[in-house]
């Protein structure tokens, strides 16, 4: 009985120490690609981000947003030239995990409870 208890305690303590990789600093700047489904079609966007500006290229159009880092793994994006009221709300992005040249993130409009997830690839 003591062996079983000791084994379970050892397994529990080792498994609770696992932390996913989060090297968020590696993704603060660069050129990135993001794929998502929009109206049933797989679409790709490309964006360039420096520390405080993000330029997004999507379907032949360019958008520029400000980037404000909350901490190493979370930031807010605010469209600099919103075309409607929906584009005026900032988007909160939280990097959940990183691996190699990719990161998985969660995003949603500030003040809204609905969140979505995605994966971004750093191409340069």
Residue 60 and residue 45: Cα distance in Å, rounded? 10
pLDDT given for residue 18 in this prediction:
54
Report the chain (124 residues): mean pLDDT per 10 consecutive residues: 49 55 92 89 93 93 96 96 90 96 95 92 94
Task: Supply the DSSP string of 50-97, one letter for each residue.
Answer: -SSEEEEEETTEEEEEEEEEEETTEEEEEESS-SSGGGGS-EEEEEEE
What's the pLDDT score for residue 8? Answer: 46
pTM of the model: 0.79
Name all domains of the chain by residue range, CATH numbers in brackets.
Answer: 21-122 (2.40.128.490)
**C-beta separation of 94 from 77 below 8 A:** no
What distance in Å separates the CA atoms of residue 60 and residue 70, rounded to the nearest whole number? Answer: 30
């Amino acid at each position: 009985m003591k062996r079983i208890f000791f084994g379970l305690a050892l397994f529990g303590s080792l498994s609770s120490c696992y932390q996913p990789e989060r090297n968020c600093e590696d993704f603060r700047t660069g050129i990135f690609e993001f794929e998502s489904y929009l109206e049933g079609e797989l679409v790709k966007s490309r964006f360039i981000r420096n520390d405080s500006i993000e330029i997004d290229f999507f379907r032949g159009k360019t958008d520029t947003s400000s980037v404000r880092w909350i901490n190493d793994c979370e930031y807010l994006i605010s469209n600099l030239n919103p075309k409607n009221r929906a584009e005026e709300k900032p988007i909160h992005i939280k990097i959940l995990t990183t691996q190699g040249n990719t990161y998985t993130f969660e995003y949603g409009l500030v003040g809204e409870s609905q969140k979505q997830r995605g994966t971004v690839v750093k191409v340069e």
